[in-house]
């Protein structure tokens, strides 16, 4: 099984009501994420500027962050 490469970034924006946001990559690109991809216990939310590690996945609408872990 191929090991997935992890990427780092910072949460640029997160809309709690709509359940999605964007992570800014080190090369200044923005990546979409859905709250369901946050790996944590309890209510899934995350603050802006939080440093995160995640898998970068090419989806139908471009790059997306999956399996997001707050550092």
Beta bridge partners of 66: 55
Using one digit for the tens of pLDDT, what is the confidence trace for 33-43? 999 999 998 88
Using one digit for the tens of pLDDT, what is the confidence trace for 12-64? 999 999 999 999 999 999 999 999 999 998 888 999 999 999 999 998 889 99
Q: In order of start, what are the domains of the chain with their CATH numbers? A: 1-34 (2.40.50.140)
CB 49 within 8 A of CB 62: no
CB 39 within 8 A of CB 33: no
Q: Which pTM value belongs to this model?
A: 0.89
């Amino acid at each position: 099984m191929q090991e997935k490469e992890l990427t780092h970034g910072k949460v640029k924006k997160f809309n709690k009501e709509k359940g999605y946001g964007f992570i800014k990559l080190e090369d200044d690109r923005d990546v979409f994420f859905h709250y369901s991809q946050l790996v944590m216990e309890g209510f899934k939310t995350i603050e802006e500027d939080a440093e995160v590690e995640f898998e970068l996945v090419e989806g139908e609408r471009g790059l997306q962050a999956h399996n997001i872990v707050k550092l």
